[in-house]
Structure 1
Amino acid sequence: MTQTLRDTLVGFIIAGLTLTAFLVMGGGAYGKAPIGIADPGVLVGWALPFSKVLNDVAAVMVIGFLAAAAFLVPSTDNEVQGLSVQAVRLASRWATVWAVVSVVYFFLLLSGDIFGKPLTDVAWADITGFLGFSEGRAILLQALGAAVIAVATRFTLGIRSVAGMLGVSLATLAPIALTGHSASSGSHDLATTSLYLHVLGVTLWVGGLAALGWVAIRGSKRLEPAVARYSTLALWSFVVVGVSGLVNAAVRLRSLADVFGTSYGLLVVAKVVALVALGAFGVRQRRRIVAAGSGFVRLATTELFVMAAAIGLAVALSRTPTPVGDRVLQTPAEELLGGPLPAAPTVLRLLWGWSGNGVGLAIVALGVALYLRGVVAMRRRGDAWPIGRTISWMVGMVVIAWATFGGLGEYSHVLFSAHMASHMMLSMVAPIFLALGAPMTLALRTLPGPRQPGEVSPRAILLSFLQSRFSRVVTHPVVGPVLFVGSLYGLYFTGIFEALMSNHLGHAVMEVHFLAVGLLFYYVLIGIDPSPHALAPVARFGALLVTVPFHAFFAIAVMSSNTVFALDYWRDIDRPYRTDLLADQYLGGGMAWAMGEIPLVLVMVAILFQWFRSDSREAKRFDRAEDRTEDAALEAYNARLRDLAEHGKRRDPNQ
């Protein structure tokens, strides 16, 4: 038996023992149901949590091996080489396991938790009924994603393609994570988003270490630079796992007394202890490698065993009843909003209110952290970064915060006018400041470059993406304005708006869409960051000039409409204030007009200023060229004028 296989089996045993112990301690273990209550049987009762452990381990291994092949282990070509080829093949095999176990988990969950009957009694109607639940669809989507990865990684060895498969793998984690908490319980957005970030951090952290442990056992000379890059990834993952875990636990714990007074709270404490221990292992590992250049395998193996125990603990925690329980929300408004209806809006509440919007919190937290990390990296190596760009980026983050989880975001789900104001902030105001912050330029200057000649580095991958055919199409001067304006009409004058407003994921989709479309529009117009299409100021000015009337027409159409958008949604909310829906919609249209046109006019002024500066730079460049040639062009021009004056007409220059 090889060391790799032996360590893998030991890891599974540790995870299984930990799972069993904490299931019993937390009350999530299988117990025979009382007479008259549906019982799936002992096989399903115990196989269900163990299949979840195997499912999680398979996902971790897929992501770890793909991350190692794409980013951690150095390469000298556009394709993976040596051990990296084997890493991609191992990722393919683990992806097959991931897909198969996901299907098994689907049937075990259907049998055990949904209908409470043995597997032999499951009927086709039960399967189709489970597919009616978001959780059932999410599991099969994960199985499908894993199957695609298993097949695709059999036929690709390009660094960029492997990096793309890593992105697909991380996205495949999303369906289950985003349906991991009942939509009928409070703080749904915050719970699901923090859970997804938690899962992302864990899989990259544990998977990367597992893959590097395998590389170390194989005796690769490329281990040292791979470990150095992994240390940065591990640090970011540690922070993301810690913060997201605390947020997710806070949603499930009612008070500080629940931390030590409930089984769920004690499991959370155990998980925190495991996280701290893993952080200590990581620090010790890095110090030892820096000091002695060795000792990675022993420390990594110990750390992986602790991680295996943590995975078992996490699965046990997910099956342990929480102190708050899955409290069924009392009214249709609470079900739609994920919490109680806020009080009537006031200026103070709109300015300083709070909403548990996980998507907005994630965007702002990661946006601020990554940008400041880039600025610090620039300063450490002695390069200047304009303070104005940093301030502009932070202002954009503040606008996003207010429009998503601030006071405006809190009322954006309750009032159409507040929703439209939030929409305008995300698509018209925040992107201006973000584009002026030049994030792509900062990323290109601070992302890791090649560690050896020929390596496809993260910086090179980003640059190739910016120069790709996809980017050329998306950043075409026509595409941005069409998406920017067309999505307004397509969203609000169809049934799409009501469909998205009626579920939690729909709110997140709209917020991300508004921000993304606005960023794309201003990315091209403002033109600070590199783009496949370098537009002259006059072209950008023309694109903006064409866009303004269509945006104004949209606002007028909203104000003059006699049809209430998403009427059933507002009726279900049944708010006791601003009950005139058409009046609130009219106000929203007016906000769209005012808050839309003012930023566009400001950008127009900025483009005119850039145009003036461009002409000034061109004039200075021409003057410098003339100084070098002693005004040769001017003398030639004057000579031509004298010739015309003497002969009265233009002569053939060859005569």
Structure 2
Amino acid sequence: MSEPSRVDALLSPWAPSVVGLGLPVLAAIAYAVSVAIARGRGIPWPVWRVAIWMVTCALAAWTFAGPPQALRDVNPWMDGVSIGMSAAVLPLGVALGDPVKLIELLRGQRIRWARGRIARVVMFPGVASLVSAIVLTYAITSQWYQAALTEPLPWALLLLTAFVTGLTVNLPILSDDLMPEWATPAVKTLVAFADGLFDAIPGLVMMLLVNKYSGGALLAIAEVIGIPMIAATVVIWVRADAQEQREIDAELDARDAVTGRPAGHGSMEPEIETGRPQPATTRTTTEPSPAEGQGLWWLDDPRFADRFRD
């Protein structure tokens, strides 16, 4: 009898349970129904978010009912795989699916608790990353983890804690308005980079104090998943800059239309018979005020005018 391939080893054996399979299936169905209702109301929702959510649900089923669960007694390092998946991979997938925004679009109003006082403290930039690292490090170095090795309830609570703390890190970073207004895309990218450093702490501690194989698996998953997280924040940053530029261009074009100036604030007059562009006529009168739509564009922009105007 031939040995199972590596792919077969990743897909079997399974240890199905009501919770391990039921929760991911319910999450997939609920999301699909919500998207169908949204589109029925004329609310667009990106297909890529749906795809990421479904893949995340499949990974959750694999984590909670697949080989990481079935092979815990045979391969101790599978504990590190389960914790790493729960703390890093699954929260990232859920955050990219953006269920908060989807629910708010369906309700027509914001979810208050997601922006309440407690949520603002927990999801404050950098705080969630530090709290997640501390909680997870404590969990795997205390009697909690020792009990989780043999008892199902402590193990389930450990995975749930890892998922929730990971979600408090990923959700605000990858959402539009769950962080303070000053947390620009550049700040979010910096926070994502710092989170990658914090994520290494539980894995390193587990390698040194608990089990080097489990710790190595946890460290590897946490650090590898940090790459797409940072990449996602960079994409958000680029899109935000592009959107801001479009808004500035539209505002300046609207001002030009009101003042009768050509769009684009060109400094060259139309070509004359020589076919060469001629410099704009030199002003001999007093420079008009920005309020009249004249002068440099950044003096017209209300965001910068106060900085440069005497």
Query: 2:172 & 2:46 partners in 1: Cα distance?
Result: 21
**Counterpart amino acid of 1:523?**
L
Contact 1:359 1:508 in 2 (8 A): no
Q: Which has the higher contact order (CA 8 A, sep 6+)?
A: 2
Number of residue pairs aligned between Structure 1 and Structure 2:
264
**Counterpart amino acid of 2:43?**
D
- Displacement of 1:516 after TM fit? 1.4
Moved runs in structure 1, 4+ residues, more than 4 A?
344-347, 631-635
- The counterpart of 2:116, out of the listed 450, 453, 468, is 468
Query: 1:552 & 1:532 partners in 2: Cα distance?
Result: 24
Query: 1:551 & 1:536 partners in 2: Cα distance?
Result: 22
- Displacement of 1:389 after TM fit? 0.9
User: Is 1:381 the equivalent of 2:28?
Assistant: no
- Displacement of 1:346 after TM fit? 6.5
- Displacement of 1:510 after TM fit? 1.4
**Counterpart amino acid of 2:178?**
S
- Consecutive unaligned residues in structure 1, runs of 5 or more: 1-343, 450-459, 566-584, 641-651
- The counterpart of 2:21, out of the listed 351, 361, 365, is 361
User: Is 1:533 the equivalent of 2:180?
Assistant: yes
Contact 1:556 1:593 in 2 (8 A): yes
**Counterpart amino acid of 1:489?**
T
Q: Describe the superposition over 1:106-129 as per-residue Cα deviations: whole angstroms up to 9, x where unpaired.
A: xxxxxxxxxxxxxxxxxxxxxxxx
Secondary structure of the residue aligned to 2:142 is coil
User: Is 1:428 the equivalent of 2:62?
Assistant: no
Distance 1:345 1:517, change over 3 A: farther
Contact 2:11 2:66 in 1 (8 A): yes
- Displacement of 1:639 after TM fit? 11
TM-score, normalised with respect to structure 1? 0.38
Query: 1:503 & 1:345 partners in 2: Cα distance?
Result: 31
- Displacement of 1:489 after TM fit? 1.4
Distance 1:557 1:469, change over 3 A: closer
User: Is 1:607 the equivalent of 2:233?
Assistant: yes
User: Is 1:440 the equivalent of 2:100?
Assistant: yes
- Consecutive unaligned residues in structure 2, runs of 5 or more: 257-264, 266-289, 300-308
Distance 1:595 1:370, change over 3 A: same
**Counterpart amino acid of 1:533?**
P
**Counterpart amino acid of 1:591?**
A
Contact 2:120 2:179 in 1 (8 A): yes
User: Is 1:587 the equivalent of 2:213?
Assistant: yes
Distance 1:635 1:409, change over 3 A: farther
Secondary structure of the residue aligned to 1:533 is coil
- Displacement of 1:467 after TM fit? 2.9
Fraction of identical pairs, as percent: 23
CA RMSD of aligned residues (A): 2.8
- The counterpart of 1:498, out of the listed 146, 153, 156, is 146
What's the counterpart of residue 245 of structure 2?
619
**Counterpart amino acid of 1:625?**
E
Query: 1:381 & 1:548 partners in 2: Cα distance?
Result: 39
Distance 1:612 1:355, change over 3 A: same
Contact 2:38 2:45 in 1 (8 A): yes
**Counterpart amino acid of 1:611?**
W
Contact 1:361 1:405 in 2 (8 A): yes
Distance 1:588 1:504, change over 3 A: closer
- Displacement of 1:421 after TM fit? 0.9
TM-score, normalised with respect to structure 2? 0.76
Secondary structure of the residue aligned to 2:10 is helix
**Counterpart amino acid of 1:476?**
F
Distance 1:629 1:346, change over 3 A: closer
Query: 1:377 & 1:606 partners in 2: Cα distance?
Result: 27
Structural mapping, 1:147-186, within 5 Å: none
Q: Describe the superposition over 1:58-90 as per-residue Cα deviations: whole angstroms up to 9, x where unpaired.
A: xxxxxxxxxxxxxxxxxxxxxxxxxxxxxxxxx
Query: 2:169 & 2:24 partners in 1: Cα distance?
Result: 20
